Structure 1
Amino acid sequence: MRICHILGSNIPHHNQTVMAFFREQLWERIPPQARAAFYIVGGSSENDPPEVKRFAGKKALADFLLKEVKQRSDTFYLLHGQFNVALWLAILCNKLPLDRIGWHIWGADLYEDSNKLQFKLFYPLRRMAQKKLCHVFATVGDLQRFNQINPNAEQTVLYFPTKMDPSLKPPLASAVSDRPLTILLGNSGDQSNRHLEALQGIKAQLGDQVQILIPMGYPEHNQGYINTVKKQAAELFAASAVTVFEQRIDFQDYLSMLVQCDVGYFIFSRQQGIGTICLLTQFNIPLVLNRENPFCLDMQQQQIPFVELAEVSQESLNRAKVRLAQLDKSRIDFFAPNFVQGWLELLQKLAQK
């Protein structure tokens, strides 16, 4: 069976990460039919291999796919993330072959967090489409959540190929440090990070003598919410205590920022930010997580310590940091290069159908 990989929405960072992963780590290790085609919305076609076909928009990709599936019965379509309304509607209306469709859940595409009317109207339709799926791949926590919607689908644990450098070492702790506790708040400017609530929680739990770093370069067209966060920060903390990054941050600059942190404060209730969670864990930087976040199941399964939101204190953070330093990170399933094996096994299996 040929495998056609569908990246059906223009999400540059994630799409580039997936393509780099295939080109650099999988290309020579999987059969050619397992990388037969890649259909991608947006991005530059420069340096693309011949297997890649790019589309100007979501609908253009969906229209092409709907025509192709009528002509090909030898192809399995693997949806990497799924933020394409036209494809959900095609699944709902049985216009795509359900036995030859697989969905790799990226987190946000499973949850129903938005308060915008168009999303609230669409969520029930998407849920009905998800009930029709036969093959789903995701984190342990997301599979448990999906199982509440569709317990009949074949479910496989598979981790997003997070960009990591296993050779990076935790920064050496200074014997004496008079700098304030430095907190990374959230992993993006998306409102799912609950920045306003988090700022209040940080002040209540850890005081105002802290340094807070807030990356908000993604998503685009978000200035209204950024201004709201900055206003809340100014009301709670001194101007010098909070830094909001309004532009996208280069990966190396992001790494440099992370190693300055003492804690990652992530109170989102859905699975997101696995890349940042992995990097902070690699650097022995403790995490504050919301118990409602399904990824806590994956953390617990891998015996990775974290601090629950209700239990945040300087003492609990210090204990978590000690345990992180003692943790054998070479065995963590969702760390690089360990997650590669899951991809190899899945693609071999699908290609043999």
Structure 2
Amino acid sequence: MILHVSGLDKFIPPFIKLIRDEFNEEDHCFWLSGSLEAYPLECKSDVYVCGGGLVGKIKGYVKLVRQLHAARKVILHGLFNIKVVLLLALCPWLLSKCYWVIWGGDLYQYKSAKKSLLSWVKEGLRRFVISRIGHLITYIEGDIELARQWYGAKGTHHECLMYLSNVVDSSLIAEPLGRPKDDASLNILVGNSADPSNNHLEVLERLLPYKDENIKIYIPLSYGDQGHADKVIKLGKSWFGEKLVPVTDFMPYETYVEFLKSIDISVFNHRRQQAMGNTITLLGMGKTVFMRTDVSQWCFLRNLGLKVCNVEGFTTELLDRERAMKNSAITRSYFSKDTLLKQYSKIFEG
């Protein structure tokens, strides 16, 4: 049995469906924590959701300990749950069969940890566990280097796209386009959520020289820090008026892909690995993507032969059609469902 341990998140229901559809369902089971209301999925015998309340949680974590010991392999989808980290620290003999799927935010907790006793204890537990985990899963080599540098990780690296959000569905995305028509607005996407790590305000300042041009600025703010979202909307409206369009309603995947087709330029100003699903889809569409050069995905994308632009040198100049087509071809080739399935087959069977 392969045990998957995860918090419920938007990536998980599609991942469970992928496992059920493409692999032997009887070989996998899922221990989940979180809200099924927020992220509904079809619950079968292969899925256990840790209950609410003290008693439910105690039963859930007792079950997890049993499943951890019974499993042939343990796939840890992110290392955010400190209770799971604690259990693994108390059972270090389990760590050699654990595979950490590195999400990004779990890795970068190293930089965001507060200077407090509680934070020091949590980081100590994380270092103990991460340094002993047998296997590390990501497609970004830079994140492996950081895990080794920050936490002393020694596990074997398995290259894997991780989730369907990192797969380009050629049937859903448009062919790469050239410049918008003369009478059409230049549509600019800023960030991927209401999280302050998007550094929206810095981007809006960079866009100020273009405020009198025919532009539309779209900012996804449907999830994340709503206090920060309100601040972004207030300031953005004062600077750009109706040219700033906050996207505050959550869109189904297909609807969101259609929305991305209308974007000409995207600006991701994160200081860590983030928004990769958006980045990959936009590159597959031949869109112009700006990001910081000091994030791990910058070198990864450039090494694939993709043209991504430095946010420090932002302009409204779009990629030419030839370059856009090349970006699209590279993206569709590497970030494919076939690649994802082959990578997981190797991980599950190894």
TM-score, normalised by the number of residues in structure 1: 0.84
Find out whether 1:38 has 2:38 as its counterpart. no
1:1-353 matches, cutoff 5 A:
2-7=1-6, 9-11=7-9, 13-24=10-21, 26-28=22-24, 32-33=26-27, 35=28, 37-41=29-33, 42-43=35-36, 47-56=42-51, 59=57, 61-69=60-68, 72=70, 74-94=71-91, 97-112=94-109, 114=112, 120-121=119-120, 122-139=122-139, 140-148=141-149, 149-163=151-165, 164-167=168-171, 168-170=173-175, 172-173=177-178, 176-204=181-209, 206-209=210-213, 210-219=215-224, 222-237=225-240, 239-315=241-317, 317-319=318-320, 322-327=322-327, 328-329=329-330, 332-349=333-350
* Contact 1:91 1:132 (C-alpha < 8 Å) held by counterparts: no
Return the letter of the residue paired with 2:230.
N
C-alpha deviations, 1:106-162, integer Å up to 9, x for none? 111110254777885544542343222221111222112212132521111111222
* Contact 1:166 1:336 (C-alpha < 8 Å) held by counterparts: no
* Structure with higher RCO (Cα < 8 A, 6+ apart): 1
Q: Which has the higher helix share?
A: 2
Q: Distance in 1 between matches of 2:221 and 2:89?
A: 34
Structure 1 unaligned spans of 5+: none
Structure 2 unaligned spans of 5+: none
User: What secondary structure, in the 3-state scheme, does the structure 2 residue paired with 1:43 have?
Assistant: coil
> Which segment drifts farther, 165-174 or 300-309?
165-174
User: What secondary structure, in the 3-state scheme, does the structure 2 residue paired with 1:137 have?
Assistant: strand
What is the root-mean-square deviation in Å for CA atoms of aligned residues? 2.7
Deviation at 1:331, TM superposition (A): 6.0
* Contact 1:161 1:340 (C-alpha < 8 Å) held by counterparts: no
* Contact 1:259 1:283 (C-alpha < 8 Å) held by counterparts: yes
Percentage identity across paired residues of the two chains: 22
User: What secondary structure, in the 3-state scheme, does the structure 2 residue paired with 1:305 have?
Assistant: coil
Deviation at 1:38, TM superposition (A): 1.3
Return the letter of the residue paired with 2:23.
W
Assess, with a 3 A threshold, how the Cα gap between structure 1 residues 69 and 313 changes in structure 2: closer, same or farther: closer
Assess, with a 3 A threshold, how the Cα gap between structure 1 residues 348 and 255 changes in structure 2: closer, same or farther: same
Return the letter of the residue paired with 1:47.
E
